[in-house]
Amino acid sequence: MKKLLLSLVLLISFLGNSQILDPVKWKTKVVQKSDTEFELVMDATIDDEWHMYSQFTPDGGALPSVFEYKNTKGNYTLVGKTKESPYKKVFNDIFEVDEYYFAKTAQFKQVIKVTNPKLKEVKVYVEYQACKEQCIQQDKTFTFKLPEIKATEKGEEVIKEEPKEEIVPTEIASNDIDSTSIKTEKVTETKATTETNKTEVSNEPVEEEKKGLWSIFVLAFLGGFAALLTPCVFPMIPMTVSFFTKQSKTKAIGIRNAIIYGFSIIVIYLLLGILVSLIFGADALNALSTNVWFNIIFFVLLIVFAASFLGAFEIMLPNKWANKVDSQADRGGLLGIFFMALALAIVSFSCTGPIVGTLLVQAAAGGSQIGPIVGMFGFSLAIALPFALFAAFPGWMNSLPKSGGWLNTVKVSLGFLELALAFKFLSNADLVLQAHWLEREVFLAIWIVIFGAWAVYLFGKITLPHDSPLSHISVGRLFLALLVSIFTVYLIPGLWGAPLKLISGFPPPMTYSESPNGVGYKNQGIVGATATLPEHAHFSEHGIVAFHDYDKGLAYAKEVGKPVLLDFTGYACVNCRKMEQNVWSKPEILPLLKDEFVLISLYVDAKEELPKEEQYVSPETGKEIVTVGNKWSDFQITRYKNNAQPYYIILDDNGKDLTEQVGYTPDVEEYQAWLDKGLKAFKK
């Protein structure tokens, strides 16, 4: 009975997996903006539970959507970049990176300026990845039919009418299809449609975006509190309190003035956040996380901030600014209180400037246009509350610690944190360039040295320029030194492949390292290591010998007389990595894969270009097969009528299927039973 049930499960799995999936359906249209400018609009409808990915999703995770505009030379130019509707942001703990994705709907727009009046059509090649329990690599070519270039009512959507038999349906089922809009509407109607799409996306509860803004607020608030404990800000508290107690005739007036003072501090920093958002705009902020030059500039900027905090120099605004603002503060009244708050911001800039700069960089790199505003609100709130409260209740001043050398210790500690954070931005640039200069091991080594040096400093073994003589360390400083030391020791196993979940997302992912399986991994459980590695083979996950070429792997299987485990996979396939980490690693599965099968892993998203003589047009799909990934994807579609990954088949050494195919199978017992069934079929 149990075998019967298992057979039914596998049969259902086979039937469910033997199909070409197309979870993203497209509609396109052209909107004429002026005599020579047109907007190409591509609307995607995404099946439930499926996601497709933004153009800006960071490297190291899912594949971003890519738009390639054909026949541009001498015909038209692109006006700006391809714009897209709002996306969701979520951290992927398999790839250890943030991913930006669309659910249910997505819209992409590109404005073009036509320079060739005879231009009749524009072709756009779109390549994207869609994922659910499985991932598929998709590409489509859209053909936008342009009307004759002539003056029309500005803003009217114009589509050249086509014969009815050429009208493209709303849902596009093929992998490569020419599509065009099929109706003419006024721009008011088009705008309404677009707004509806955007409303559908933005009205969904985007929990990750909310969490991101909350994280920015909390970190900014903590940054403001840290700034409060620096030598430039902390001594200002008693001076401010003294001013309000002397100038306010009654306690009520004192409390009112204190509230206005705190509110003025918030307004000043909020204006700075708004300015950053307006200067960059939403599109630029979205691009920050993957733009090489932005990340390199941020790296240099944070190094400068760190050097300032460590005592190399002071970053100060011109003294004449402070003098002018201070003279305005003497006016009194509401305006005078505001200028007092502005004077505080200018005078304390040498301590607050690096923190504010870092917060703005972090918030902007998050991609949200309101991120810098939220960050400045959190920072200013932390600064304003103590000033306002102590000014309103001066008696509380007695509970404050006295100024002293500990203030510089706080400042130096912030310098070490700035230095560590700087390398995150350099790592981002390296990941985008795929230069492999700052791989995971190097990044962790840098952090270990930085945090180790910070711990030594806190123990009093290193003295920096502005430190006071130290006869002993306080209990609080000792506790902080111990905490930093513990964190430093925690980082060390990361060099040997430990996941380091506390800082996941900061170092490069495990796949971007000198030893993807950890230092010395190949010597663990692999007898003979490279000496026994067959020609054309590689060590895959967990030391499994794998081939990345079907013919070479099959030839080896015939040579050694073993069955083949054919694995259609992808570098950016999340559930492929889950199967490898959570199923293949099990003691009941791993020996089978190492000893009983020849593993052939075919990566359908491999970008290496095939030699010219090996490139062809697929008779099944009509697509041009140019890359290695194209070749294996076409092989999967042609032979198995399936385009999803992961996808597994057991073959004999002649390439004949021995079992039904299975996809993502997280149940270890079910996967083991499937492997055993294939082994039995081979031995027969």
The pLDDT, as a whole number, for residue 2 is 46
Distance separating alpha carbons of residues 368 and 285, to the nearest angstrom: 7
What distances in angstroms separate CA 153 from CA 32, 33, 122, 134, 298, one per listed residue?
9, 9, 22, 47, 46
What are φ and ψ of residue 566, in 5° steps? -85, 125
Helix (H, G, I), strand (E, B) or coil at 651: strand
Are 49 and 198 contained in the same domain?
Answer: yes
| Residues sharing a CB contact under 8 Å with residue 240, sequence separation 6 or more, in sequence order | 261, 340, 344, 387, 390, 391
Mean pLDDT of 330-350: 68
Chain mean position to CA 121: 35
| 3-class SS letters over 286-299 | HHHCCCHHHHHHHH
605 pLDDT higher than 80: yes
Per-residue pLDDT tens for 352-361? 766 777 666 6
Per-residue pLDDT tens for 193-245? 333 333 333 333 344 445 457 777 887 888 777 777 776 676 667 666 666 66
In the numeric block, which tokens belong to residue 400? 């404050």
The pLDDT, as a whole number, for residue 674 is 94
Report the predicted TM-score, pTM, of the whole model to 2 decimal places. Answer: 0.48
Per-residue pLDDT tens for 107-147? 999 999 998 888 889 999 898 988 876 778 888 889 998 88
**Better-predicted residue by pLDDT, 627 or 347:** 627
Mean pLDDT of 628-649: 89
579 pLDDT higher than 50: yes
For residue 541, give its domain range. 526-683
CATH number of the domain where residue 559 is located: 3.40.30.10
For residue 129, is it left (φ>0), alpha (ψ between -120 and 50) or beta? beta
In a domain, 495, yes or no: no
Percentage of residues of the chain with pLDDT beyond 70:
69
**Better-predicted residue by pLDDT, 162 or 681:** 681
Q: Which of 153, 185, 204 is the last residue of a domain?
A: 204
In a domain, 478, yes or no: no
Are 185 and 64 contained in the same domain?
Answer: yes
What distances in angstroms separate CA 426 from CA 13, 285, 383, one per listed residue?
45, 17, 30
Q: Chain-wide mean pLDDT for the chain?
A: 76
Q: Angle formed by the axes of helices 333-347 and 349-365, to 10°?
A: 80
Beta strands 105-114 and 76-84, pairing class: antiparallel
Strand partners, 602: 568
Q: Which of 204, 220, 235 is the last residue of a domain?
A: 204
Mean pLDDT of 549-571: 91
Residue 544 gets which letter from DSSP?
A: -
The pLDDT, as a whole number, for residue 490 is 94
253-267, 382-396, 420-434, 622-636, range with greatest mean pLDDT: 622-636
Residue 525 gets which letter from DSSP?
A: S
CA nearest neighbour of 575 among 666, 668, 672? 666
Neighbours of 234 (CB within 10 A): 22
In a domain, 515, yes or no: no
CATH number of the domain where residue 85 is located: 2.60.40.1250
Q: Which of 354, 370, 405 is the last residue of a domain?
A: 405
Are 596 and 656 contained in the same domain?
Answer: yes
607 and 630 in contact (C-beta within 8 Å)? Answer: no
Are 317 and 361 contained in the same domain?
Answer: yes
Are 191 and 242 contained in the same domain?
Answer: no
163 pLDDT higher than 60: no
Neighbours of 549 (CB within 10 A): 16
What are φ and ψ of residue 484, in 5° steps? -65, -35
In a domain, 159, yes or no: yes
Chain mean position to CA 287: 10
Instruction: pLDDT band for 592, please (50, 70, 90 cuts).
Output: very high
Per-residue pLDDT tens for 244-287? 666 666 667 777 777 887 888 888 888 877 776 676 554 444 44
The pLDDT, as a whole number, for residue 347 is 64
In the numeric block, which tokens belong to residue 497? 């492949």
In a domain, 278, yes or no: yes
Mean pLDDT of 71-95: 84
Are 272 and 388 contained in the same domain?
Answer: yes
The burial class, CB within 10 Å (0-12 / 13-18 / 19+), for 325 is: buried
Which amino acid is present at 152?
T
Which amino acid is present at 482?
L
525 pLDDT higher than 80: no
The pLDDT, as a whole number, for residue 96 is 67
The pLDDT, as a whole number, for residue 172 is 33
Dihedral sign of CA atoms 525, 529, 532, 536 in order: positive
Are 297 and 394 contained in the same domain?
Answer: yes
The pLDDT, as a whole number, for residue 135 is 79
Instruction: pLDDT band for 179, please (50, 70, 90 cuts).
Output: very low
Mean pLDDT of 620-641: 87
What distances in angstroms separate CA 52 from CA 22, 128, 209, 589, one per listed residue?
12, 7, 17, 32
Distance separating alpha carbons of residues 174 and 165, to the nearest angstrom: 17
Where do we find the tokens 């993807």? Answer: 516
Beta strands 37-46 and 24-32, pairing class: antiparallel
**Better-predicted residue by pLDDT, 463 or 434:** 463
Dihedral sign of CA atoms 83, 84, 86, 89 in order: negative
Distance separating alpha carbons of residues 684 and 677, to the nearest angstrom: 11
Instruction: pLDDT band for 478, please (50, 70, 90 cuts).
Output: very high
Distance separating alpha carbons of residues 447 and 442, to the nearest angstrom: 9
528 pLDDT higher than 70: no
DSSP H or E segment with residue 679: helix 668-683
Distance separating alpha carbons of residues 576 and 566, to the nearest angstrom: 13
Are 95 and 111 contained in the same domain?
Answer: yes
In a domain, 147, yes or no: yes
The pLDDT, as a whole number, for residue 97 is 72
Neighbours of 657 (CB within 10 A): 16
The pLDDT, as a whole number, for residue 127 is 87
Number of separate domains in the chain: 3
In a domain, 328, yes or no: yes
The pLDDT, as a whole number, for residue 90 is 81
Residue 106 gets which letter from DSSP?
A: E
Dihedral sign of CA atoms 390, 395, 398, 403 in order: positive
Helix (H, G, I), strand (E, B) or coil at 476: helix
Dihedral sign of CA atoms 528, 531, 534, 537 in order: positive
For residue 561, is it left (φ>0), alpha (ψ between -120 and 50) or beta? left
Which amino acid is present at 220?
A
What are φ and ψ of residue 351, in 5° steps? -100, -40
312 pLDDT higher than 80: yes
Mean pLDDT of 171-181: 34
The pLDDT, as a whole number, for residue 164 is 33
Distance separating alpha carbons of residues 325 and 329, to the nearest angstrom: 6
The pLDDT, as a whole number, for residue 44 is 93
Q: How many helices (H) and strands (E) does the chain have?
A: 18, 17
In a domain, 516, yes or no: no
Beta strands 564-569 and 647-651, pairing class: antiparallel
Per-residue pLDDT tens for 6-53? 444 444 444 445 567 788 999 999 998 888 899 999 999 998 888 899
Are 219 and 348 contained in the same domain?
Answer: yes
Q: Angle formed by the axes of helices 236-247 and 371-392, to 10°?
A: 60
Instruction: pLDDT band for 374, please (50, 70, 90 cuts).
Output: confident
Are 140 and 257 contained in the same domain?
Answer: no
Are 166 and 296 contained in the same domain?
Answer: no
Per-residue pLDDT tens for 418-455? 899 889 888 877 876 767 888 889 999 999 999 999 99
Are 192 and 173 contained in the same domain?
Answer: yes
85-89, 194-198, 452-456, 463-467, range with greatest mean pLDDT: 452-456
